[in-house]
């Protein structure tokens, strides 16, 4: 065996060129960072405009470069970004094509900047766009939740703790709980956007630049609130990406919980909802099956999104200032999470908007689980002046009797109830129906239909919708 062939076997089949082939592949980020091309073009145009305004490059060269960047952008839009691994990344790919189009003047574009501040700027712009897309999607999910909650402000269903029937609630109240969760998610994305909206452009490699640049001009041109204030931090910071992933992870948990509700509700033992055909699949062997695949995938996607957050946190945890090549791995988890989150939001928006709720089944289930037991205890406290602990014990005896006879609490006779405690009178029946139970929960934020309608109206105003409830 020759020395050369032995070397090739050492490096492995597809790395026949030895260490240089490995380095070429591990160093190239163009397969994934080509997704930044719009942001790269926009930042480059803002940069060259500033260079021209500051007299760092001539007005003629600035105009030539800007026009050339527009031509590159048009090519990318029409044909996609080419993947030449020798050019490593989107920045060198764009600059190389620009040079082919306009000649040596293209080399002036990189004056007073580095790939370090360039990628930090591009990535911030991309994450900012991802936040804006999430915001739009989450608002639409809220619109769907509010619309269905308004339809079902009076629809009674069992409320659960430990997945055991606890007290009757309304479906509208249940759906508005998710409206509140999504509102918090939107606030987290908004906080992340506000915190990250500073421009690193002009920080150069790590120490700033000696050219008389105007970082405030480029920041304003790119929609930032201003430039970052420390060049070392500017090129090494990925907090903005972590903030996005943290908000995305929390949001994905809420979407997963909502998906799980639909999965449970759609199961035959519950039968609370019929899922839209467009978001379900059949079985390859069991013709009676209608599987909640979209909801299950949303539930699964949440795990992957949390994994993306964990991956970037671990990547960043031990890096010294300023830039290290590890940070090239910052983008894949963010890109993956953003794609999965967008799909999950869209799926759950469709699920909420198009599902058919079987309210008669929900109401029947609310009656079966002795959900008004707390109402009996409350009645004993209010009407018979019995301490709650004693009322709780009396109610437990009533539930045991009803359970032994296979009837609801309000189907026990007055003689039965008075045999348990003589202080119970016929007024108790007004408190034992599921309708009376939900109507009584009229404290702020409670499940009473009138309260649900108030919350729906407030949500419609917050969303800028015409009130319909």
Active site residue 47: no
Cβ partners under 8 Å of residue 258, min gap 6: 178, 298, 348, 351, 352
- Which of these, 438, 417, 443, 421, lies nearest to 371 by C-alpha position? 438
Active site residue 283: yes
- Which of these, 420, 454, 444, 448, lies nearest to 435 by C-alpha position? 448
Among candidate residues 7, 187, 267, 283, the one labeled active-site is 283
Rounded Cα distance between 214 and 225, Å, is 14
Among candidate residues 162, 278, 404, 443, the one labeled active-site is 162
With b for 16 or more beta-carbon neighbours within 10 A and e for fewer, the 407-420 pattern comes to ebbbebeeeebeeb
Note if the bond before 389 is cis, omega within 30 degrees.
no
Q: DSSP characters for 260-272?
A: HHHHHHHSTTT--
What are the DSSP E strand ranges found in 182-312?
273-274
Backbone angles phi, psi at 170, to 5 degrees: -105, 150
Q: Which H helix or E strand runs over 130?
A: helix 115-151
- Which of these, 337, 8, 319, 355, lies nearest to 149 by C-alpha position? 355
Distance of CA 336 to the CA centre of its chain: 12
Q: Which H helix or E strand runs over 156?
A: strand 156-161
Instruction: Tell me how many degrees the CA angle 203-57-229 measures, rounded to the nearest 5.
Output: 15
Both tokens of 311, joined, read 């991956």
Residues taking part in catalysis: 162, 283
């Amino acid at each position: 065996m020759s020395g050369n062939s032995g070397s090739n076997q050492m490096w492995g089949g597809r790395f026949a060129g030895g260490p240089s082939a490995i380095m070429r592949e591990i160093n190239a980020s163009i397969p994934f960072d080509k997704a930044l091309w719009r942001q790269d073009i926009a930042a480059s145009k803002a940069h060259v405009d500033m260079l021209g305004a500051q007299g760092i490059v001539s007005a003629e060269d600035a105009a030539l470069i800007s026009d050339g960047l527009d031509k590159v952008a048009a090519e990318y839009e029409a044909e996609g970004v080419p993947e030449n691994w020798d050019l490593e990344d989107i920045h060198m790919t764009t600059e190389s094509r620009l040079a082919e189009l306009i000649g040596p003047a293209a080399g002036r574009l990189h004056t007073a900047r580095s790939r370090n501040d360039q990628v930090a700027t591009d990535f911030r712009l991309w994450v900012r766009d991802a936040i804006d897309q999430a915001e739009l999607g989450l608002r639409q999910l809220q619109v769907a939740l509010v619309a269905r909650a308004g339809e079902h402000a009076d629809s009674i269903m069992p409320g659960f703790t430990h997945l055991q029937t606890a007290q009757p609630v309304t479906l509208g109240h249940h759906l508005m709980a998710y409206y509140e969760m999504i509102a918090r998610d939107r606030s987290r994305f908004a906080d992340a956007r506000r915190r990250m909206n500073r421009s690193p452009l002009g920080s150069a490699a790590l120490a700033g630049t000696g050219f008389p640049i105007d970082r405030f001009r480029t920041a304003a041109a790119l929609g930032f609130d201003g430039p970052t204030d420390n060049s070392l931090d500017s090129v090494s910071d990925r907090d903005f990406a972590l903030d996005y992933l943290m908000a995305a992870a929390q949001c994905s948990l809420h979407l997963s919980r909502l998906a799980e509700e639909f999965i449970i509700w759609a199961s035959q033992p519950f039968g609370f909802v019929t899922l839209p055909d467009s978001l379900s699949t059949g079985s390859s062997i069991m013709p009676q099956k209608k599987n909640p695949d979209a909801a299950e995938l949303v539930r699964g996607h949440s795990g992957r999104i949390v994994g993306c957050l964990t991956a970037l946190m671990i990547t960043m945890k031990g890096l010294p200032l300023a830039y290290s090549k590890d940070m090239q791995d910052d983008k894949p988890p963010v890109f993956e999470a953003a794609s999965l989150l967008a799909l999950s939001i869209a799926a759950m928006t469709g699920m909420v908007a198009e599902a058919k709720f079987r309210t008669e089944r929900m109401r029947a289930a609310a009656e079966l689980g002795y959900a008004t037991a707390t109402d009996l205890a409350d009645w004993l406290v209010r009407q018979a002046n019995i301490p709650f602990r004693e009322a709780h014990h009396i109610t437990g005896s009533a539930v045991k009797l009803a359970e032994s006879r296979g009837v609801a609490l309000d189907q026990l006779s007055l003689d039965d109830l008075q045999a348990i405690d003589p202080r119970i009178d016929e007024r108790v029946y007004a408190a034992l129906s599921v309708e009376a139970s939900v109507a009584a929960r009229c404290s702020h934020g409670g499940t009473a239909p009138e309260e649900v309608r108030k919350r729906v109206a407030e949500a419609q105003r917050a969303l800028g919708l015409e009130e319909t409830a």
